[in-house]
Structure 1
Amino acid sequence: MASPIVIAHRGASGERPEHTLLSYQLAIEQGADFIEPDLVPTKDGVLVARHENEISGTTDIDAHPEFAARKTTKTIDGAPVTGWFTEDFTLAELKTLRAKERLPQLRPGNTRYDGQAEIPTFDEIIALAKKASRETGRTIGIYPETKHPSYFAAIGLPLEERLVAKLREAGWDRADAPVFIQSFEVANLKKLKGMTQVPLIQLMAASGGPADSAEPSYAAMVTPEGLRRIAEYAAGIGPERTMIVPATGPSTSLVADAHAAGLKVHPWTFRAENFFLLPAYRSTGGPADHGRLAEEIAVFIGLGVDGIFSDYPYIAVSARAASASPAHRK
């Protein structure tokens, strides 16, 4: 069995503000195989990396009085959201902002990097991955997620064409390119299937269902029949990790079922803080204290997953190496 890939979730986001070149660069230095940008568009149609199109939690936008009047409330995937949105700003305007730590209560150390990084474009992230590949001699891939694709299509800023165009410019629009494209929605992955040879990953959460209502629920999608349907358009699934190992009780058959359908399995997200860890791997202390993340990851590697999304790439890389050692295999 091949060793699982390590995907730097929003970069090394446990140690630097997420979706910044600081975070991606550190992830590469820590040995990640892929860096993950969540993609949203600007008003002028440029793809940038933010976890959400609402940016008050990840930038200093509220310190810019010139943009105060653009604060608004929108309905995103059926829920009201208040703040400032990337699609209401040009790239030039967004470049005047600076990134900040999204989880300061859990990651107070990261706040010392607040104000040091811009919002990066997809072009800049591709350039970083290519430069790092040349300098390190190992291939650094990208693993973009299309955020709220049906919402952006509805307002005239569809993501798919822009994403595929950038991959073509990079020479990465082929089946063996160091790229995966992921989405929680279904229709846009099916659309992308007809636009690119890059492998696609169907994301899924432990509850709810796709925002585009293309399937009744994620629970229905992980049945053997649901997985066979996914295999018609995607190369793998990205399930929430508790769909494989619940907080209590035995592990599920999802990895084996997905493999039987010919799908790769890349669970998310492995984080070191007690707040996020499965109960069995928490340490004594508070929510921000670190527990035994390497042990948790080792369990999933033992179950045969094909990839690991982690905010702490160096821990995932170390856990993978330990799992591959002869002593571990005895």
Structure 2
Amino acid sequence: MLKPIATLALGSLCAALPVLSQAEVINVQVGVRPYFLVDDMSPGPLKKRLSSLSCQEGPFHKTDFSIGHRGAALQFPEHTRESYEAAARMGAGIVECDVTFTKDKELVCRHAQNDLHTTTNILTLPELAAKCTTPFQPASFDAGGNLLSPAKAECRTSDITLAEFKMLRGKMDASNPRAKTPEEYQGGTASFRTDLYAGPSSGTLMTHKESIALFKKLGVKMTPELKSPAVAMPFDGFSQEQYAQKMIDEYKEAGVPASQVFAQSFNLGDVLYWVQNEPAFGAQAVYLDDADLTANPPIPVPTQAEMQSWVDQGVKIWAPPTWVLLAPNKAGTGFVPSKAAKAAKAVGLDLITWTLERSGILADGSGGFYYQSVENVLANKKNEGVALEALDVLGRQVGIRGIFSDWPGTVTYYANCMGL
């Protein structure tokens, strides 16, 4: 086996990814980003430990603490084979397929049932674009070139069959509101991401069954999320319960032990369905939480009493966004566990959280949705290494069992160094 290359350049890391075997995945490579983040940290004991030779030189090993969020979506089109393989190469011990369904009720990996217009090339394929719920409508402008109405479209997996879905290629999740053509609408990728790995020879879309086969080959555990349908249920006789059951059935048919699967949903009803009807899978089903104080109206953080009610019904794992589990210290110079984090532990909930490496540039003092409770800490730090400080509090003080990341190499590096 080749010696792990801890300092492989990021471009070389990505270029090496497309075809992997079980043996190659064992040779975990974290790339240069973790080293950049450590170098950019504020001085202190954590930076000293993370920059020690024993951490920097590896070797690095796969860890269930590191969960590939949609694969490795910081650089690769989400929920594609290439994105999943990148996550495994970077040591993610668990990889996510968000699950939705097509017109013929086949399960596929997409973040939302209605995101094909922003995550694939469907609008550039006229025979499929014509089937979209809302076909492409160009932006309109006044005589001075000012935007009057943005370009729009809505294309759902339920608009097309599985065979038609397999004709698509994945791209970075983005759109151009000023687009006049479907081709222009394909743009808009955030500046901190890249389209370098979203060419016509990549972006391979996956069915749910294909993701299971790939994850078995890569030797990773699986965390499918049953996505809320964009269509009314039942859909052509396909009920929510049948949808939840079909997802589990595909793991059973593939011979995947329940211990290797962390089924997720934002819908408590789905989680309770698994707890009651598939107890082996329900025992580690994950109840996702979409708390958001910036929403209109705000979505509040659950109370301890609500958490206790979930536990009483059989829920064992709660997965809120990272900001819910963090609070600023009194000086506003660092992070501490939040009241919600302490409440969850008090009622016996295990914790998984989301999502690291999804907020773009942190050094400008703003972390957006994922840091909404601790913006003052970012404003004081003004560096990228603050992400590792947040991760350390989540890992060693809050006591999470894992964290989703758009670039799992960062979490893999931290987890290996800290013995998580």
Give the aligned partner of residue 274 of structure 1.
Answer: 361
2:252 aligned partner, one-letter code: R
After superposition, the Cα gap between the structure-2 partners of 1:312 and 1:61, relative to the gap in structure 1 and judged at 3 Å, is: same
Please state how far the C-alpha of 1:150 moved relative to its aligned partner: 8.7
Please state how far the C-alpha of 1:258 moved relative to its aligned partner: 1.5
Alignment partner of 1:60 out of 103, 107, 121: 121
After superposition, the Cα gap between the structure-2 partners of 1:203 and 1:128, relative to the gap in structure 1 and judged at 3 Å, is: same
Normalised by the length of structure 1, the TM-score is 0.81
Matched, 1:125 2:234: no
Give the aligned partner of residue 147 of structure 1.
Answer: 227
Partner Cα distance (1:108, 1:268) in 2 = 18
Give the aligned partner of residue 182 of structure 1.
Answer: 264
Structure 2 gaps, min length 5: 1-62, 136-151, 175-188
Partner Cα distance (2:318, 2:90) in 1 = 25
CA deviation string 1:66-97 (max 9, x = no partner): 123222259xxxxxx95110011111101111
Aligned residues of 2:64 and 2:93 also touching (Cα < 8 A): no
Partner Cα distance (2:76, 2:266) in 1 = 25
Aligned residues of 1:38 and 1:145 also touching (Cα < 8 A): yes
Please state how far the C-alpha of 1:223 moved relative to its aligned partner: 1.6
After superposition, the Cα gap between the structure-2 partners of 1:50 and 1:91, relative to the gap in structure 1 and judged at 3 Å, is: same
Alignment of 1:20-169 (within 5 A): 20-54=80-114, 55-73=116-134, 82-103=153-174, 104-115=189-200, 116-133=202-219, 140-149=220-229, 151=231, 153-155=233-235, 156-157=237-238, 158=240, 159-169=243-253
Give the aligned partner of residue 252 of structure 1.
Answer: 338
Matched, 1:262 2:386: no
CA deviation string 1:231-278 (max 9, x = no partner): 123221010111111479654122332222221100111116226464
SS of the residue aligned with 2:71? Answer: coil
2:222 aligned partner, one-letter code: I
Partner Cα distance (1:66, 1:240) in 2 = 39
1:8 aligned partner, one-letter code: G
Please state how far the C-alpha of 1:225 moved relative to its aligned partner: 1.4
CA deviation string 1:133-180 (max 9, x = no partner): 2xxxxxx10001010059563324342121021011122353xx2111
Aligned residues of 1:206 and 1:242 also touching (Cα < 8 A): no
Aligned residues of 2:285 and 2:315 also touching (Cα < 8 A): yes
Aligned residues of 2:75 and 2:197 also touching (Cα < 8 A): no
Give the aligned partner of residue 28 of structure 2.
Answer: none
Partner Cα distance (1:284, 1:218) in 2 = 28
After superposition, the Cα gap between the structure-2 partners of 1:145 and 1:85, relative to the gap in structure 1 and judged at 3 Å, is: same
Give the aligned partner of residue 200 of structure 1.
Answer: 285
Partner Cα distance (1:114, 1:100) in 2 = 8
Partner Cα distance (1:237, 1:322) in 2 = 26
1:83 aligned partner, one-letter code: E
Partner Cα distance (1:284, 1:262) in 2 = 35
Normalised by the length of structure 2, the TM-score is 0.64
After superposition, the Cα gap between the structure-2 partners of 1:292 and 1:144, relative to the gap in structure 1 and judged at 3 Å, is: same
Aligned residues of 1:37 and 1:143 also touching (Cα < 8 A): yes
Alignment partner of 1:237 out of 318, 338, 341: 318
Structure 1 gaps, min length 5: 75-80, 134-139, 209-216, 326-330
Please state how far the C-alpha of 1:117 moved relative to its aligned partner: 2.2
SS of the residue aligned with 2:66? Answer: strand
SS of the residue aligned with 1:70? Answer: coil
SS of the residue aligned with 1:48? Answer: strand
SS of the residue aligned with 2:354? Answer: coil
Give the aligned partner of residue 140 of structure 2.
Answer: none
Please state how far the C-alpha of 1:53 moved relative to its aligned partner: 1.1
2:416 aligned partner, one-letter code: A
After superposition, the Cα gap between the structure-2 partners of 1:73 and 1:64, relative to the gap in structure 1 and judged at 3 Å, is: closer
Partner Cα distance (2:378, 2:71) in 1 = 23
Please state how far the C-alpha of 1:123 moved relative to its aligned partner: 0.9
Please state how far the C-alpha of 1:60 moved relative to its aligned partner: 0.3
1:88 aligned partner, one-letter code: D
SS of the residue aligned with 1:160? Answer: helix
SS of the residue aligned with 2:99? Answer: strand
After superposition, the Cα gap between the structure-2 partners of 1:108 and 1:9, relative to the gap in structure 1 and judged at 3 Å, is: closer
Q: What value does the CA root-mean-square deviation take over the aligned residues?
A: 2.7
Bigger drift between 191-200 and 108-117 goes to: 108-117
Alignment partner of 2:402 out of 307, 324, 327: 307
After superposition, the Cα gap between the structure-2 partners of 1:7 and 1:132, relative to the gap in structure 1 and judged at 3 Å, is: same
2:110 aligned partner, one-letter code: R
Please state how far the C-alpha of 1:293 moved relative to its aligned partner: 2.8
2:94 aligned partner, one-letter code: F
Aligned residues of 2:74 and 2:193 also touching (Cα < 8 A): no
After superposition, the Cα gap between the structure-2 partners of 1:180 and 1:150, relative to the gap in structure 1 and judged at 3 Å, is: farther
Please state how far the C-alpha of 1:207 moved relative to its aligned partner: 2.8
Matched, 1:294 2:388: yes
Aligned residues of 2:289 and 2:321 also touching (Cα < 8 A): yes
Please state how far the C-alpha of 1:108 moved relative to its aligned partner: 4.2
Q: How many residues align?
A: 296
CA deviation string 1:205-230 (max 9, x = no partner): 2238xxxxxxxx9636x322111111
